Structure 1
């Protein structure tokens, strides 16, 4: 098990965790400009703090129904590019013990971004690897 600080968020009712050391900021997503030819997992581009960010449709990457709209964003920098990971809600930062996913847990498709699990308040939280999530969204 590993411990550290994680940002707790929800997408389509699923509790997700992001490594707090990888989170640049959290934002209310501004209007997004669609990008022609991009996969459905990319909502488009948005101006964040005078910089352009690619907005990831997290529910689509994970194969979940659209939640409450993905109006919040977890902002991170990967390979010099800014990304906003769309989530429905942002809860808080918590220090949780992260365990590896159980051996029998099916982690196919977008769920291959799950790098661990933790016990939250009345739910199991899934830790997402931001690099893997962005790679899956961009494929």
Structure 2
């Protein structure tokens, strides 16, 4: 069975997201901060007359915060019927693989370990397969 993966950059790493969750990739130019939200939530943005919760993926990994730029790339995902924008450093490509993910055979930092669901091999490189729902939950999920 063939599978599609979106390759993106997060925290200086090439990682994969299953396209099963991905609605689109967009550029976000305005993120409106929201008081009293979890620290990994950058704020809200509008996309095609819909409100998105914007997730700072670095903060979700407990690795700091992304620099706010004039235009930021975001992967739009649907989790439990809600739209989220995952801020990423870059978007590379969509690739098709004949095999599914394999277990991770390395020790990962706590943030990466919490959001990783396996590994995929792409062009000879082993990339972490990231669970978007775990990014949306953020580092507070470690305490749960």
Q: TM-score, normalised by structure 2?
A: 0.82
Residue 110 of structure 1, CA deviation: 4.9
- Structure 2 match to 1:87: 88
Aligned pair partner of 1:114 in 113, 116, 127:
116
Aligned length: 137
Partner of 1:26: 25
- Relative distance call for 1:27 and 1:132 in structure 2 (3 A) is same
Query: Which moved further from structure 2: 57-66 or 83-92?
Result: 57-66
**Residues 42, 56 of structure 1: 8 Å contact kept:** yes
Identify the residue that residue 16 of structure 1 maps to in structure 2. 15
Contact 2:40 2:55 in 1 (8 A): yes
Residue pairs, 1:39-118, within 5 angstroms: 39-64=38-63, 71-96=72-97, 97=99, 98-102=101-105, 104-106=106-108, 108-118=110-120
Instruction: Give the CA deviation at 1:68.
Output: 6.7
Are the counterparts in 1 of residues 111 and 139 from structure 2 also a CA contact under 8 Å?
no
CA distance in 1, matches of 2:140, 2:88: 17
Deviation at 1:109, TM superposition (A): 3.4
Provide the C-alpha distance between the structure 2 equivalents of 1:137 and 1:75, rounded to a whole number of angstroms: 20
Q: CA RMSD in A?
A: 2.4
Partner Cα separation in structure 1 for residue 140 and residue 74 of structure 2? 17
Contact 1:31 1:46 (8 Å CA) reproduced: yes
Compute the displacement of 1:76 (Å): 1.1
Does residue 130 of the first structure (1) align with residue 132 of the second (2)?
yes
